Amino acid sequence: MQLTILGCYAATPRTYNHTTSQVLNIANHMFLIDCGEGTQMQLRRQKVKFSRIKHVFISHLHGDHFFGLIGLVSTFNLLGRETDLHIYGPKGIKEIITLQLKMSKSWTGYGLYFHELSSNSPELIFENDKVTVETIPLDHRVYTNGYLFKEKEGDRKLLMNEVLNYDIDKAYYRSIKKGKDVTLEDGTLVKNELLTSAPPPIKSYAFCSDTAYLPSITNQIKGVTALYHESTFLESHEHLCKPTKHSTAKQAALIAKEAEAKQLILGHYSTRYDDLQLFKEEAETYFINVTLAEDGKRFSFD
């Protein structure tokens, strides 16, 4: 699992700072999460192949999280894209994008599918044989979802020395990797745990932005491999959280602690702050494994 931060600042892009967008590579699937202004330029800088992006997840309809989407959709078309593109986001995202395509007479030559969201409860919105994606309902000034990406449990690993000792036919290998026991020709039952070791631990990633402090999400993301949680403000500006429905670095750390996350990644910084280390220092008072998101930074989770 690998995460690439394309942008991690709040409100407006600046010369060297970009608004929210990131690419998650999990179980060999590449997902684009949010699409702030200039996302396609950041994708090029980070050498992310456009053709690998087939699913885009938009958290909410504030401009710093989706103003780059129409440009990306249009560029895909100009480059002759043929692969379908699926966009998941709040109700209204289809109207916004299709109106721009209609008025500019720029309909795409590829399939453009919108999956509009309106539920206030977690729901499964994507699933294949390797990964699932669920919404994480958040608390912001407009309807907002975070997203939980989670690998499915993989196959068990064959212990070849043991398998060969029992002279098991190769035809059974696939079912053994799926956890099945084996009955030998003489009727002997060989338990699966004698023939295999456990599959690799399941990896998961929770994207939680934008939101006010919302402890109720911790049950859904319990034990997550990595949590990206917005930290717009430092505690000294906590009074701004209520009217804006944003969080502090301290509050993000408390969520990570309660969720028993393996790692906390802070982001969505207000541009009023010059020293981002202050965010890390504040969060580390409450949670140990804290990392700062930075434009262009990559995280690998082995």
C-alpha 254: how far from its chain's center? 20
pLDDT value of position 163: 87
DSSP, collapsed to helix, strand or coil, labels residue 57 as strand
Q: Name the residue with tokens 């690799």.
A: 200
Query: Is residue 64 among the annotated active site residues?
Result: yes
Q: Per the residue annotation, which of 34, 64, 181, 302 is the catalytic one? A: 64
Vertex 155: Cα angle to 154 and 159 (nearest 5): 135
pLDDT value of position 293: 98
pLDDT value of position 214: 98
pLDDT value of position 219: 98
pLDDT value of position 21: 98
Residue ranges of E strands in 27-161: 29-35, 53-57, 85-90, 112-117, 124-127, 131-137, 145-151, 157-158
115 is in an annotated binding site: no
Counting as low any pLDDT under 50, the low residues of the chain are: none
pLDDT value of position 172: 87
210 is in an annotated binding site: yes
64 is in an annotated binding site: yes
pLDDT value of position 225: 98
Q: What is the 3-state secondary structure (H, E, C) of 26-52?
A: ECCEEEEEEECCCHHHHHHHCCCCHHH
pLDDT value of position 155: 85
> Over the Cα atoms of the chain, what is R_g?
22
60 is in an annotated binding site: yes
| Phi, psi angle pair for 241, to nearest 5° | -65, -40
295 is in an annotated binding site: no
246 is in an annotated binding site: no
pLDDT value of position 154: 84
Q: Name the residue with tokens 């539920």.
A: 119
pLDDT value of position 34: 98
CATH 3.10.180.10 fits 2-154+200-300, yes or no: no
DSSP state of 96: H
pLDDT value of position 169: 86
Domain layout of the chain by residue ranges: 2-154+200-300, 157-197
The predicted-structure confidence for 215-271, as pLDDT tens digits, reads as follows: 999 999 999 999 999 999 999 999 999 999 999 999 999 999 999 999 999 999 999
237 is in an annotated binding site: no
**Is-contact 251 166, C-beta < 8 A?**
no
Contacts of residue 172, defined as CB under 8 A and 6 or more positions apart, other chains included, come to: 180, 182
pLDDT value of position 198: 87
